[in-house]
Structure 1
Amino acid sequence: MTRRTWPLRAWTLVALAGVLLLSACGEGRQSVLNPSGRDALLLYDLARVMFVGALVLWLLVGGLFVYVTRINPREMSRRLAEGLIVGGGVLFPVVLLGGLLVYSLPLMQAPREADEGLRVHITAEQWWWRVEYELPDGGRVTSANELRLPVGARTGLVLNAHRVIHAFWVPALGGKADMIPGRETYLSLLPEAAGTYRGQCAEFCGASHALMAFETVAMAPADFEAWLAAEAQDAAAPQGEDATRGAQVFAREGCGGCHTVRGTQAVGQVGPDLTHVGSRLSLGAGILGVEAPDFASWIAHTETLKPEVAMPSYDHLPPDDLTALAAYLGGLE
């Protein structure tokens, strides 16, 4: 390889490596490459502009370096050398980066602005999400591990955390926001396409950090209003012999000391609200489905499925009681 051809080959290898890395970035429901909200689209456009700006800067500086060291290595006058240093190393980067900064700062305003629309209070626990929808009369409808939003309307999220720092992030809908114990932070989202998107805690928070996900469902406004009205109702009465027996097991085992099931004597505030747990899309903060076997597996093996979780495993329950309890919880729709 000659001295003149190695830079071209090196740049080719770098470009190929970049293509291989980008090929692993799928456009799934937890991808910044699949923006489905106005805020995510702003960030997507910002990233592309920043990438192009960085690429231009890198090509010019790198090209200048290759030119003076490989293509035309010769002694320069002091004036020319100082001009290259000041112009290429100071003035040009300042102008380019300053322009990118002026372009990017206004884009960050919308996701932080308060809005008169729906407000949702989200508290990050260890390791699950407490979600409370604020009603016009000041009341709240409590759910867990799932966020639902109306399409075409900006929803304000009031974020807090319990015990340790977390971070809220739905890549397809918007940017990240830190969740700090004792301090409210604010983020707003405006979904533009109906669908189900995956969110994740984006700040390492302990042993089950990777198991702290949630589903975000963007719905047509009318569908969202109907869902919220149904979510505000008390739990449905158990239907069938298994579910009825499961309700008795739930009460006998003291589950109501940690969990709330509205319309019953279960009013615990330590764990997730289970009033409509059977209608959610996932169980255990995104790690299981909501079929009867999923409920049974979660109840019997909680500590195995989610290390250091506060809920103990109820592996002492007889199979019939476990099946009945799973039937009761699955029927809470």
Structure 2
Amino acid sequence: MPLASADDAVSAAQTELAELQTEAAKVQLSLERSKQEQVTAERQYEVTTADLAEQQSRVDEMRVQVGRVAVAAHQQSAGMGAATLLFGSDSEDDFLSDMAVMQSVAAITDEQMVRLAAEQERLTDLEAAQSEALQKIDEEINQQSELAAEYDAKVARAQSVVDRLSGDQKAALEAAANQAILDANAALLAGATADAAGRVSRDGIAGVASDSAGVWPTSGPITSPFGYRINPIGGHSELHDGVDIAPPCGTPVRASWSGVVLSARAEGGWGNRIIIDSGTYQTAYAHLQTMAVSPGEVVEAGQIVASVGTTGYSTGCHLHFSTWQNGQLADPTTLF
């Protein structure tokens, strides 16, 4: 096969795999969100089930009470008519007292009937809420099956793209994919620096930069280290250009070194991301829930600049933390 044709095949495969990777990431994100919705629905079902049992007991008890009062009222009216009371009373005061008892029983019955109707209505509402929660659980489970099948189909399609290539072409594809990651990483830093050029001077950055031991940005385990890993879309080795640190969402994120904020914005699959230039070191913090700084702002080492989130193409709460040393991509764990 001519060289140009081989190069075209690798380029076409790389483009198609990149598209599949983006599509698969969106499917996986939808899958994780569906799982979260299912958990929420299950909790709602548990709460309404417990409330339903308690409410049923309350309604049953009130039905018994109302029944007893109704029977008492009927017996009172049947056996203590006004004439009977009048002739059976020793005085006018006794008669009035007996009539007050009858009226009180009737009033209590009316009041309890109103309360019973209200409690029964709440019972009906809880039954509807329980049914809705159960339906939501079923819907999410069905959606997850569809999303899982869709994801598997994209993986299979990616594998077929790779299978069409020769051994040399597969090696070239892997090299090209990793170079693309390195190029995108370099472009990220260069773009942020260019965007900040009108707000921040290099002298200004140098004036606040700190080359001392840095501050690790957040707590939590490293769930994905820096380096090469197997990409499920295509099955080739791929560079992970940072470390993933996974504390709960909302956990504070701190600036690793004193420096100047180059950018703080939503950026596609990275979600909310902040880039800080500290002279010798540059740092990027991605998938943030909130951002507490603005471009051009000077920050101190250890200052809270954001909170951990799951924005962008993220399947759970974590911080994607990338670092550069003198403009060159570096493994963050080697800098602290």
The answer to whether TM tops 0.5 is no
TM-score, normalised to structure 2, is 0.25
Q: Compute the TM-score of the two structures, normalised by the length of structure 1.
A: 0.25
